[in-house]
Amino acid sequence: MPDIPATSREWHLVARPEGWPKPQDFALREAPVIEPGPGQILVRNIYLSVDPYMRGRMNDVKSYLPPYGLDRPMDGGAVGEVVASNAEGFAVGDHVVHNDGWREYARVPAEQAVKADPDLAPLSAYLGVLGMPGLTAYAGLLRSAEFTEGDAVFVSGAAGAVGSEVGQIARLKGASRVVGSAGSDEKVRVLVEEYGFDAAFNYKSGPVAEQLALAAPGGIDVYFDNVGGEHLEAALERLNLHGRVAACGMIAQYNSTEPPPAPHNLALIVGKRLRIQGLLVLDHFDLREQFVTEVSAWIRDGSLRYDETVVKGVEHAVDAFLGMLRGANTGKMLVSLGD
């Protein structure tokens, strides 16, 4: 039986951010570690996930997920080891994925935990390439955008956890051209040299529309949108007849204090008969088994590569979150709490 401390640390939201979140909006607090009740397991978290959608939950507005409560522990994806179990089917030593992150220890209802096999893939992968971001990429490209072999694909935010996988899946499924945007020259290099994108550009180096036109001279059939704003406007211009947009995120406006200007060329949707489909991974869990089987095989044979940016220590979870919002990560941003 592992040693279980009497208390552990957890992050609370203590103020609603206005614009960019500040460290003062969060507090790291001690909380008692409580033995699991009937149907529950106690998990020592090993990795925590920080993700763009969490920014929206810090606002007190109605959305597809409830907002974080003030002076309450935040939640999010985590993977860890079961250290006590009062639930059938879960034993001490099992590894599980669950949604009670932002803390060192979590008491989790068994029905809200999914076992993770460390022999199939590293535990961290279950929060990234084989986790929620990976399933978002897989379902968004293949189902929401209805990708077909021969499509030309543009991915914004392509060096992140979702975008990097979208581009590689498109390549593996027979895209005619895969183009990505990222926020640094080094990330552009990674997209082309390591992930196999046909072309990529640094959106900070010039107007997105001009750079996309050069990178995709034949136009695009699919746009996977992680950014919104100028990227969406440029993509609408380059989309071919009957093009499709999977609208996954619009991180360019998450921290805006004023409403962003809409793309000025929305009328193109009519003439080109474009389709824009909003994307939430919550709608696509039925694909999870197929997704894990196919993507894990690509990982094992080296067809699909992934990166992780790992920040160590629960005390640095907010730093990791703020860094992710600013694009400091290549691939998935994670917080490691130790093995």
CB 206 within 8 A of CB 229: no
Q: Residue 212's CB: how many other CB atoms inside 10 A?
A: 25
CA-nearest of 330, 313, 292, 328 to 125 is 292
Output the pTM of the full model: 0.89
CB 139 within 8 A of CB 106: no
Class of domain 132-282: alpha beta
Q: pLDDT band at 335, cuts 50/70/90?
A: very high
In sequence order, the 6+-apart residues with CB closer than 8 A to the CB of 314 are 9, 11, 28, 48, 103, 104, 335, 337
Identity of the amino acid at 288: R
Per the DSSP assignment, residues forming a β-bridge with 97 are 79, 114
Dist CA 97 CA 335 (whole Å):
14
Dist CA 12 CA 101 (whole Å):
11
Dist CA 309 CA 304 (whole Å):
17
pLDDT digits (tens, 9 = 90+) for 236-261: 999 999 999 999 988 767 666 677 77
Dist CA 339 CA 336 (whole Å):
8
The residue with greater pLDDT, 327 or 314, is 314
CB 182 within 8 A of CB 202: yes
The CATH number, out of the four listed (3.30.2350.10, 3.40.50.920, 3.90.180.10, 3.30.428.10), of the domain defined by the range 7-128+307-336: 3.90.180.10
Q: 329: number of CA atoms within 13 Å, CB side?
A: 30
Q: How far from 229 is each of 197, 211, 323, CA to CA, in Å? A: 23, 15, 21
Q: How far from 148 is each of 12, 159, 303, CA to CA, in Å? A: 44, 23, 19
pLDDT averaged over the chain? Answer: 95
Dist CA 219 CA 217 (whole Å):
6
Dist CA 235 CA 223 (whole Å):
7
Dist CA 316 CA 28 (whole Å):
10
In sequence order, the 6+-apart residues with CB closer than 8 A to the CB of 159 are 180, 182, 183, 187, 190, 191, 330, 331
Burial of 272 (0-12, 13-18, 19+ CB in 10 A): middle
For residue 87, the model assigns a pLDDT of 97
Domains of the chain by residue range: 7-128+307-336, 132-282
Q: In this structure, is the dihedral angle defined by the CA atoms of residues 226, 160, 79 and 121, taken in order, positive or negative?
A: positive
pLDDT digits (tens, 9 = 90+) for 277-302: 999 999 999 999 999 999 999 999 99
Secondary structure (3-state) at 259: coil
Place of tokens 């550009």: 201
For residue 231, the model assigns a pLDDT of 95
pLDDT digits (tens, 9 = 90+) for 214-225: 999 999 999 999
For residue 1, the model assigns a pLDDT of 53
pLDDT digits (tens, 9 = 90+) for 98-145: 999 999 999 999 999 999 999 888 999 999 999 999 999 999 999 999
For residue 256, the model assigns a pLDDT of 66
Residue 44 in this model has a pLDDT that exceeds 60: yes
The backbone region for 338, taken as left when phi is positive above 0, alpha when psi lies in -120 to 50, beta otherwise, is left
